[in-house]
Amino acid sequence: MTPTEHTRQAATHAAAQRLIEAADFAERHICKPLFEKRMPRLGGRALMVRLFSPGVLKVSDPETGEVLAESVPGNLRELSTTPTRSS
């Protein structure tokens, strides 16, 4: 490995570590949903849609708070098979 490649690899590793630390810091300090809005439904009751860190989308009944669907972290369109069931 050349000195330039070694320096580039060390810089990449340091940047990855900073990103991990920053993500952990952000997750500790995010107390509220990143996004929250009632979603109207034609011919039915509205639903509450909330986006939480780290990219978990939850759909709930706005009256009861019951979570009706939850995504896997990082993929808003994939249904989680192990939902947290807390809103």
CB atoms within 10 A of CB 48: 19
Give yes or no for a contact between 19 and 38, defined as CB atoms under 8 angstroms apart. Answer: no
Give yes or no for a contact between 35 and 57, defined as CB atoms under 8 angstroms apart. Answer: no
Residue 33: which pLDDT band, with cuts at 50, 70 and 90? very high
Beta bridge partners of 45: none
Residue 49: which pLDDT band, with cuts at 50, 70 and 90? very high
pTM above 0.75, yes or no: no
Proportion of the chain above pLDDT 70, given as a percent: 94
Confidence at residue 27, expressed as pLDDT on a 0 to 100 scale: 80
Q: Which residues contact 52 (CB under 8 A, 6 or more apart)?
A: 30, 33, 34, 58
Beta bridge partners of 72: 75
